[in-house]
Amino acid sequence: MKENIGDSYLKKPEFAAHPSLTKFQLKVPIQRQVLRSDPSIITRVIQQTPRFVIFGSDGLWDHLTNEKAVDIVNSHPRNGIAKRLLDIIKVLS
């Protein structure tokens, strides 16, 4: 099985019971994998040289549109931009 980022406690029973993940402890322990890690893959032909790529899980895209994420990256210094995106998501959620 391929692994992806995010929601690890729903992928394997041992992750759901791990003591370091108390924030995600489930009331009823999972007996089997709840989520699959099959990625969603989209291929596009890029006509120009891209200035940047934003890589994120559904936790990012649930809160930001593509356009808003691009606006944030374009309007702030690159140094620390990933943290800035996360901070903005915390405010929005």
Could you state, in order of their start, the residue ranges of all structural domains in the chain?
1-37, 58-92
pLDDT digit string, tens, across residues 14-73:
665 655 656 666 666 667 766 666 777 888 888 888 788 888 877 788 888 999 999 989
Summary count for the chain: helices (H), strands (E): 4, 0
At 25 the pLDDT is 62
Q: Would you place residue 13 in the very low, low, confident or very high pLDDT band (cuts 50, 70, 90)?
A: low
At 11 the pLDDT is 64
Question: Is the pLDDT confidence value at 2 over 60?
Answer: no
Nearest CA-CA partner of 60 in 85, 41, 36: 85
Q: Would you place residue 1 in the very low, low, confident or very high pLDDT band (cuts 50, 70, 90)?
A: very low
CA-to-CA distance for 93 and 88, rounded, in angstroms?
Answer: 9
Q: Are 12 and 21 in contact (CB under 8 A)?
A: no
Residue 82, class by beta-carbon neighbours within 10 Å (0-12 exposed, 13-18 middle, 19+ buried)?
middle
Q: Are 50 and 42 in contact (CB under 8 A)?
A: no
Least confident of 1-5, 35-39, 40-44, 74-78: 1-5
